[in-house]
């Protein structure tokens, strides 16, 4: 990874129209997707837990790429330059990371922050080592800080090489040849890593996933919420409500769902995947009903999620003979509610938090 002459250059480039997929591969991989990595901290600058940062950088790849597993540990028994440099111990097929003044047998190039050395044969990576240029002031931070280099994002970049990714020149990516504000693998970077390690399994990720969380299977009639979430790889275009196979209306979409974003980070804008709509279920007759949400994504893919509801039979009989009494500012008593030829008294209490009347008691008269 190189330091750019001007930070502005990378920003201007990132504004151009970009192709959808552009990752570049080195055409070599770790055979079983397993990498053991040792950090030699002998020449490391003090002040930070570099091991922890390297471990997190490894997790930024392997926690999101099925079939890839990078194990990071500390050991000063080996050095990345073993076997590369005259007079150094022989190469021991150990993958190591260290801060160094040189790239083993060569010098660091101008503005070169770090380098990854890979030994591969017939598409199989046998050994890979990373050296960080010790002449820079290494630090850990997000954003930009004058005169210091963020170890974490350089580690993410070099680990990208180590698992088989080449530089990406077109798309905005951690694998871009120069450092920028990007400090983690982007969608394109991850697509590249998955193309190497995850096999065809990833392509069977469903294009749309959605769930109706509310109402639950049974409910009483009245105004209540329809609530849930929907994610689509291509981004959700619109949601529609259907009741008993009949289109009712469009559903507002875009509520914050950090919980869903954690589970579906690779689906576009999954942070804003919530939907919610107040609906008067009282319009429906009693008995079983089918509520369905049709999700359409930006590529025209569709998915219908359904829920069978049983609307409680409060309206089964005509509300003849109902008498109500206000018992207090928050309490109403209703007598004469008939359900299946039984007559009941209902106490309703105002629930300020939910802003609705809730059933306090339901007793036979
Ligand atoms: Zn690079």
Q: What is the pLDDT of residue 217?
A: 66
Q: What is the pLDDT of residue 18?
A: 39
Query: Pairing state of beta strands 138-139 and 149-150?
Result: parallel
Centre of ligand 1 from the C-alpha of residue 157, in Å: 6
Centre of ligand 1 from the C-alpha of residue 114, in Å: 8
Q: What is the pLDDT of residue 57?
A: 95
Centre of ligand 1 from the C-alpha of residue 91, in Å: 23
Residues 279 and 155 grouped into a single domain = no
Centre of ligand 1 from the C-alpha of residue 158, in Å: 6
Q: Is 357 helix (H, G, I), strand (E, B) or coil?
A: strand
Residue 70 forms part of a structural domain: yes
Q: What is the pLDDT of residue 1?
A: 64
Residue 302 forms part of a structural domain: yes
C-alpha distances in angstroms, 270 versus 8, 237, 260? 30, 13, 6
Q: Which of 173, 203, 233 is the last residue of a domain?
A: 203
Residues 150 and 254 grouped into a single domain = no
Model confidence pLDDT, tens digit, residues 307-332: 887 776 554 445 556 777 777 777 78
The CATH number linked to 228 is: 2.60.40.650
Residues 249 and 333 grouped into a single domain = no
Residues 198 and 280 grouped into a single domain = no
Residue 303 forms part of a structural domain: yes
Residue 177 near residue 165 (C-beta atoms within 8 A): no
Residues 285 and 246 grouped into a single domain = yes
Residues 46 and 148 grouped into a single domain = yes
The CATH number linked to 185 is: 3.40.390.10
With 0.75 as the threshold, say if the pTM is over it. Answer: no
Centre of ligand 1 from the C-alpha of residue 154, in Å: 9
Q: What is the pLDDT of residue 189?
A: 95
Residues 105 and 14 grouped into a single domain = yes
Residues 229 and 307 grouped into a single domain = yes
Centre of ligand 1 from the C-alpha of residue 208, in Å: 34
Which letter does DSSP use for residue 107 in this model? Answer: P
Centre of ligand 1 from the C-alpha of residue 258, in Å: 32
Residue 59 forms part of a structural domain: yes
Centre of ligand 1 from the C-alpha of residue 170, in Å: 14
Q: Which of 203, 221, 242 is the last residue of a domain?
A: 203
Rg of the chain in Å (alpha carbons): 30
Residues 221 and 337 grouped into a single domain = no
Residue 1 forms part of a structural domain: no
Residue 2 forms part of a structural domain: no
Domain that holds residue 136: 7-203
Model confidence pLDDT, tens digit, residues 65-112: 999 999 999 998 999 988 887 788 877 789 999 999 998 888 888 888
Residue 308 near residue 290 (C-beta atoms within 8 A): yes
Centre of ligand 1 from the C-alpha of residue 113, in Å: 9
Centre of ligand 1 from the C-alpha of residue 1, in Å: 4
Residues 72 and 133 grouped into a single domain = yes
Residues 33 and 155 grouped into a single domain = yes
Q: Which residues of the chain have pLDDT under 70?
A: 1-22, 200-204, 217-222, 312-321, 340-341
């Amino acid at each position: 990874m190189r330091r750019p002459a001007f930070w502005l250059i990378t920003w201007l480039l990132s504004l151009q129209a970009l192709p959808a997929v552009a990752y570049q591969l080195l055409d070599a991989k770790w055979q079983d997707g397993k990498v053991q990595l040792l950090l030699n901290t002998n020449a490391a600058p003090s002040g930070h837990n570099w091991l922890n940062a390297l471990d997190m950088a490894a997790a930024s790849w392997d926690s999101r790429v099925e079939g890839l597993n990078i194990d990071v540990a500390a050991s000063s028994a080996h050095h990345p330059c073993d076997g590369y440099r005259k007079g150094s111990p022989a190469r021991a097929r150990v993958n190591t990371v260290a801060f160094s003044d040189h790239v083993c047998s060569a010098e660091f190039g101008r503005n070169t922050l770090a380098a990854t050395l890979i030994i591969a044969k017939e598409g199989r990576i046998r050994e890979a080592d990373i050296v960080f240029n010790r002449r820079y002031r290494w630090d850990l931070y997000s954003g930009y800080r004058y005169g210091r280099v963020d170890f974490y994002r350089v580690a993410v970049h070099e680990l990208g090489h180590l698992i088989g990714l080449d530089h990406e020149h077109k798309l905005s990516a951690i694998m871009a040849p120069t450092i920028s504000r990007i400090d983690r693998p982007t969608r394109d970077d991850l697509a590249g890593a998955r193309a190497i390690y995850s096999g065809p399994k990833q392509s069977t990720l469903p294009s749309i996933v959605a769930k109706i969380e509310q109402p639950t299977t049974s409910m009483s009639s009245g105004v209540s919420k329809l609530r849930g979430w929907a994610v689509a790889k291509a981004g959700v275009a619109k949601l529609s409500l259907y009741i008993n196979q009949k289109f009712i209306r469009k559903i507002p979409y875009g509520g914050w769902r950090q919980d869903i974003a954690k589970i579906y980070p690779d689906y576009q804008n999954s942070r804003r995947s919530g939907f919610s709509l107040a609906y008067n279920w009282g319009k429906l007759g009693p008995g079983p009903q089918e509520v369905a949400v049709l999700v359409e994504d930006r590529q025209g893919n569709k998915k219908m999620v359904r829920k069978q509801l049983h609307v409680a039979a409060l309206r089964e009989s005509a509300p003849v003979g109902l008498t109500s009494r206000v018992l207090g500012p928050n309490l109403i008593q209703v007598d004469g509610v008939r359900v299946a030829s039984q007559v009941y008294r209902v106490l309703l209490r105002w629930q300020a938090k939910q802003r609705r009347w809730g059933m306090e008691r339901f007793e036979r008269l």
